[in-house]
Every structure is written in structure tokens, then in C-alpha cells.
Copies of this chain bind each other. A is one copy, B any other.
């Protein structure tokens, strides 16, 4: 039996675990699921004959090194900042390793030793980062193989609610960490390239500078810019590219309404609101508006942000109950962002029968023999239920597939790496497609960066 150690059995591990246990007989695998909670691990293993649950405190060096020593390959699904000790042990004991997190500087620094020991530390092999790298590099490499030169790369990803469960005005529910959704776009100006020009969008304008995209039968979506577009120049070897843009997908109209929270200051996580525990939702909203006892909180907000009475934004705000004088915030020393998160959770939490949806779209513009072309590559994945979510599938399956292929020697180039090489992405994308994660490519006329599709 080949021994696979999975550290961290959170909700993104369900598909990963099922994939490996399903193949455990044919592939001769034994899977140890290690988590700080033994209950959680046992609950997942369900007495599968090729699975073992293990209680593991990763800060306990003895426990950790013992578990790693005993494995043939280690999968770390821990939070990103906790990978390093696992990585160092893997290096010491000569074990391959797989993670779905961004490569940290410290992880990268292990590359020389990892390569010298002929080991593979595969990172960024979840959804985003992960499937985005693989599906983009497949097209970029094919363009280059036929002699084309890349002009444009735009890439959008979003986690949404499936269309059949989409029943609020925002067309949005929390399918992942709500806190990250509230803080989205903060922490730095969004930077990208459009037709050779560097463009900068400050946070308070981010949600008013969306782009529109259409994804097959699923209709129109919008994307707002990520902070980090420029780093892909280097990662994908796009040094001379004219347009480089990465964005987050929402349903059309979400961002324009979200902008209300940004403008008011409700997404701020840097200070606490006075007496937040005892204030009502209405008090919370009013604390961002001028004092004026003669006007309603409603009218003050509409006037301040110039929202017409028949604007759909207004209905979206009302749907969240932001003016309710009876509902109490009930959080001590809370930041505006924490209060907003609580209020949104009441409206945006998935119902038991709700399914999530992952949407990804890349646009590739290139020139070949003096002519310009464009390829659009799209993927939509819908969750089966609230265990096998689209998020769990798209994050977990590439990790599981990569781990098995490393174990089987099909992926064998050593080093601390991400999945941008053909040897890695080709077989994994093939197997993802067999598991329903399918990219549809479409040739379109070259649009370049078409100003008509910019939204205000």
C-alpha cells in the first residue's frame, strides 16, 4: 500500500478524499486523514478500509514528524501560513508534497534543496490558484507552439450560487469565507495593463469599473479587477503582453450595489464602532450618515449616494434589512466589516438544498502571421450538494489527481513548483474533464481590449 497523508480535513477536502478513497483499491492506496479534530477526521473516513483518521496538532513536532515520516506523499490542506513546517519535514524525510496555496517566499526558498533531493513540492494546484494556471497555460502554450505571439490575457473566476438556487436580488450567496467577500478588493490599489498602458483603480472606485463577460448558456456576468494582475506577466512568461487583467466574477449589478457599502464605509475593518453590541441595524447605517433629525435614515442615504427611488440598488439594500430599528447588531467591539458580514449572512447563507457554482473564463488575444485572433475558454462547475460543492470539487480534485500522478511517477520533474508545465497540466486537465470540470474553447474575432464592453 502507498501511504497518502492528508493534513487538514476542512470543507474543501470532501472531493479530494472521495477521489482517493474511491481509487484506493485499484491504486493500492492507504489514506491517513489528519486533523486537529479527531471527530472530524473519523467522520470523514467513515471506517473505510483503506482510510485512517489521525488526531494531529501540527504545532506538535513529534506528532507531525512521525506522521510525515510514515507517509509516501503529503497533501497539506492547512491554511497557507501553516505549510512551512510541513514542507521542512517533507524535505528532511524525502517526501513529495502537494498544496493548493500560493507559493510563499519561504516555500520558494526551499527549491534548491528540494530539487537536489529529487522531490516535487507542487503548490497552487487548487482552483484559483490552480485550475486557472493549468487551463490558461494550455492555451498559451498551444498559441506559442504554432508561432503566435500573445497580445492579451484576461482571466476571471468567481464562486456564485447555482442558477436554480439563485433567489435573491443580489444573485449572490456566500459559498466560501464570508469575511473574504466583505474585505474583497482591500489592501492595495488594483493594477493592470490595457493595450500597453498601466491602469490603477483605488478601492473606492473598484466596484464601478467592472467589465462584462458572457459565458455560454449562463448569460452575462461582470468582473471587478483583482489587485495582482501584473504578477502573471512573470509567472506565465507574458513579458511583452499589451493587456493583462484578472478579475473576480459576480452576476451583473452586484458590484454597483456593493459599492454602496464601500462608499458608506461599511466594509472597513480597521476600527471598531462605538457600542456596536447594542446598536440596531438602523443605527449602524445611520452612523455613516450626517446628523439630521428632520430626515429619515433612508432619505439621507439615498441623497448622499444619489440613489434614485426606482433604482434596483435601492431594492437590494432594502432586501438586507439595513434600516431595521429592532434588530440588534449584538457584536461587542465590532468593526464595520464584521457587522456588515453578520447582516449579510442573514440574507446570503446557502439553504440546505442550495448548490454553488464556480465560473471561470479566460480570453487570449494573439497575433500569428500578421493576423490577430482571439480564443475564449470557459468553465462552469455546479455543486452536487453542500458536501460535494463546486468549490470542493474544483479545489480538491486537482490536488488529488496531482498527488496520485506524482505517486505514480507520471509527474516527475523535481522542484518547488506550480502547475504551469505541460507535463503537469495536460494529464490533470484531461482527468478533470472526465470528472465534469470541462473548459469550452471558442475562437472569436480579435476584439483586443474592446472599450464597448467597459462599464462606466
A residues apposed to B, CB below 8 Å:
188-189, 191, 194-195, 197-205, 209, 263-265, 268, 270-271, 273-275, 286-295, 303-304, 336, 449, 451, 454, 456
- Residues in B neighbouring A198, C-beta threshold 8 A: 273-275, 287
Measured CA separation A270–B191 after assembly (Å): 13
* Contact in complex: B197, A287 (CB < 8 Å): yes
CB-based closest 9 A-B pairs: A202-B265, A194-B291, A204-B204, A292-B451, A198-B274, A290-B454, A195-B291, A200-B287, A200-B265
Residue of B nearest to A283 (CB): B197
The docked-state distance in angstroms from the alpha carbon of A336 to that of B275 is 37
Secondary structure of the A contact surface, majority rule: loop
> What are 18 pairs between A and B in contact, CB < 8 Å?
A188-B270, A189-B265, A194-B290, A194-B291, A195-B291, A195-B293, A197-B286, A198-B287, A200-B336, A201-B288, A202-B263, A202-B264, A202-B268, A205-B263, A205-B265, A290-B451, A290-B454, A291-B451
- Asked whether, in the complex, the Cβ of A189 is within 8 Å of the Cβ of B270, the reply is yes
In the assembled complex, the CB of A392 is this many whole angstroms from the nearest CB of chain B, namely: 35
What's the least CB distance linking A323 to chain B, in Å? 16
Residues of B within 8 A of A295 (CB): 451
Chain B nearest CB: distance from A305 CB in Å? 10
B454 touches A292 (CB 8 A): yes
Chain B residue numbers with a CB within 8 Å of A199 are 287-291
Query: In the complex, A317→B198 CA distance in Å?
Result: 22
Q: Tell me the smallest distance from the CB of A303 to a CB of chain B, in Å.
A: 8
| A116 vs chain B, min Cβ distance (A) | 37
CA distance A191 to B273 in the complex (A): 10
The docked-state distance in angstroms from the alpha carbon of A263 to that of B209 is 13
**A292–B336 alpha-carbon span in the complex (Å):** 36
| Interfacial chain B residues near A294, Cβ < 8 Å | 451
| Separation of A199 and B290 alpha carbons in the complex (Å) | 7
Q: Tell me the smallest distance from the CB of A146 to a CB of chain B, in Å.
A: 28
| CB pair B290 A209 closer than 8 Å | yes
Whole-angstrom CA separation of A263 from B268 in the bound complex = 17
Q: A195-B291, A200-B336 are in contact. List 12 more A-B contacts (CB 8 A).
A: A189-B265, A189-B271, A197-B287, A199-B288, A200-B273, A202-B268, A205-B263, A290-B454, A291-B449, A291-B454, A295-B451, A303-B456
CA distance A454 to B304 in the complex (A): 12
Q: Which residues of B contact A449 (CB under 8 A)?
A: 291
- Cross-chain contact of A191 among B263, B271, B275, B293 (Cβ < 8 A): B271
Residues of B within 8 A of A263 (CB): 202, 204-205
For residue A384, give the distance in angstroms from its CB to the closest CB of chain B.
40
Closest approach, in angstroms, between the C-beta of A208 and any C-beta of chain B? 8
Report the minimum CB–CB distance from A59 to chain B (whole Å). Answer: 34
Residues of B within 8 A of A290 (CB): 194, 199, 209, 451, 454
Residues of B within 8 A of A293 (CB): 195, 451
B residues less than 8 Å from A274 (CB atoms): 198
Contact (A265, B454) CB under 8 Å given A189-B270, A195-B291, A270-B189: no
A175 to chain B, nearest CB (A): 28
In the bound assembly, the distance between CA atoms of A203 and B204 in angstroms comes to 9
Instruction: Give A226 Cβ to nearest chain B Cβ, in Å.
Output: 15
Q: How far is the CB of A283 from chain B (nearest CB, A)?
A: 8
Contacting residues, chain B, for A273 (C-beta < 8 A): 198, 200
Question: Which residues of chain B are within 8 angstroms of A454 by Cβ–Cβ distance?
Answer: 290-292
- Measured between beta carbons, the chain B residues less than 8 angstroms from A188 are 270-271
Query: Which residues of chain B are within 8 angstroms of A451 by Cβ–Cβ distance?
Result: 290-295
B189 touches A268 (CB 8 A): yes
Instruction: Name the B residues within 8 Å of A205 (CB-CB).
Output: 263, 265
Whether the pair B288, A200 counts as a contact (CB closer than 8 A) is yes
Least Cβ–Cβ distance between A199 and chain B, in angstroms: 6
A288 and chain B: residue at smallest CB distance? B200
A333 to chain B, nearest CB (A): 13
What is the bound-complex CA distance between A143 and B37, given in angstroms?
63
**Complex CA distance for A189 and B323, rounded to whole angstroms:** 22
CB distance from A419 to the nearest CB of B (A): 29
A352, chain B: closest CB distance, angstroms:
37
A456, chain B: closest CB distance, angstroms: 8
Inter-chain CA distance A203–B336, complex, in Å, is 15
